[in-house]
Amino acid sequence: VRASDLVPGGYEGGFKLWECAVDLLHELGARHRDGTLRASGASVLEAGCGAGLPSLLALQLGCRVAVLHDFNAEAHLDSLLTSQRRAEAAAVVEAAAPSSSPPLPPDGFDLILTSDTIYDAGAARRLWHLIASQLRRPVGLALVAAKSYYFGVGGSVAAFRTLVEEDGRFSCTSARVVEDGASNRREVLLIR
């Protein structure tokens, strides 16, 4: 992919480790250290997983199962499974094909992770529908790491927050804000 990081309906960014995935890793680690993330035995869905590093960390922190979904499954599956074996995580990792929906448990997920997946309005709506339908209530937690605004493609944290607020069933707060002076402002949203 030379001219763009995105080709709608084709390449959705799965070959890159996006900076918001790193923000999500930091947030997961911080929540584990301060006790606000109960990973032991939890089920996790990572939407738009790319390399799947947040799911691997969740497994290392005690999650029992991780379901990973990405529109570019070929970009990550081999390296993900190799990394999972190296980490010796005693968990099941399932990966959904790019054209399918992820395998969904009937009672939802304890933890939903996603990063850089609200880059345009359509992607944000699809992601919100997935979170709203699959987050286990009332104990589930979703962490959405994103740039405050995606220049050129139109997605934004503000627009995604509006989707959550208009739904009315969930709360959405900023768990982490990253302003490093070298890149676009980024946030990790906490939805419950």
* Angle subtended at Cα 174 by Cα 32 and Cα 66, rounded to the nearest 5 degrees: 45
Question: pTM for this one?
Answer: 0.82
Enumerate the β-bridge partners of residue 191.
142, 172
Assign domain 43-191 to its CATH superfamily.
Answer: Vaccinia Virus protein VP39 (3.40.50.150)
Residue 173 gets which letter from DSSP? E
Q: Is residue 62's pLDDT more than 90?
A: yes
Structure tokens belonging to residue 26:
């930091």
Query: Do 49 and 76 meet the contact criterion of CB atoms below 8 Å apart?
Result: yes
**Residue ranges per structural domain of the chain:** 43-191
The alpha carbons of the chain give a radius of gyration, in whole angstroms, of 15
pLDDT tens for each residue of 97-156:
445 566 667 889 999 999 999 999 999 999 999 999 999 999 999 999 999 999 888 999
Helix (H, G, I), strand (E, B) or coil at 45: strand
